[in-house]
Amino acid sequence: MSTEYAWVADAMKQSVPWVSTAGVEFTEVAADRVVCTLPDVESQRNHVGGPHAAVMFGLAETASGAVGLAAFNQVMSRATPLVVKSEIQYKKLALGALTAEAVLTRPAAEVVAELEAGTRPEFTVACTITNAEGVTTALMDVVWTLKPNKQ
């Protein structure tokens, strides 16, 4: 993990209690890409023995939030990141440990420019969830906004 963004993993674990409770680990963090892992935990499995759909969703949403934090940390004193909508597609039965890769789909500078122009920008983070063999088990798009803080 880049030492420049190592603080993001700690910040996510401190500000979002579910991250530590679920056992999410951050293996790569950059300004436009985050990779998280989640171990296979029996108490988080569904009726067919894989990670519950909510756990998969939570892993990808966590990775997307970490991308937002890394990409837009410089404006967090002026704006609050909030999820606008999410869409997940479950592609294959997930079994075992999971990895989520989250990627910012547009340049952060464009989003910041919109915020500075007085609008409430939105940005999408595309997430891919894979199993231990690298097989894609789900795809998820998370649309975030930077809501300007009241002055």
What distance in Å separates the CA atoms of residue 86 and residue 94, rounded to the nearest whole number? 19
The label of the residue with tokens 């029996």 reads 42
Bridge partners (DSSP) of residue 140 are 88, 127
Q: What's 113's domain CATH number? A: 3.10.129.10
| Structure tokens, 114 | 């919109």
For 4-28, the pLDDT digits (tens) are 898 999 999 999 999 999 999 999 9
CA torsion through residues 95, 97, 91, 85, sign: positive
How many structural domains is the chain composed of? 1
Amino acid residing at 77: S
For 29-46, the pLDDT digits (tens) are 999 999 999 999 888 888
Range of the domain at 81: 3-148
Where do runs of H (alpha helix) occur along 16-116?
17-22, 53-72, 108-116
Round the average pLDDT of the chain to a whole number and report it.
94
CA torsion through residues 102, 21, 88, 145, sign: negative
What distance in Å separates the CA atoms of residue 47 and residue 142, rounded to the nearest whole number? 26
For 90-127, the pLDDT digits (tens) are 999 898 999 999 999 999 999 999 999 999 999 999 99
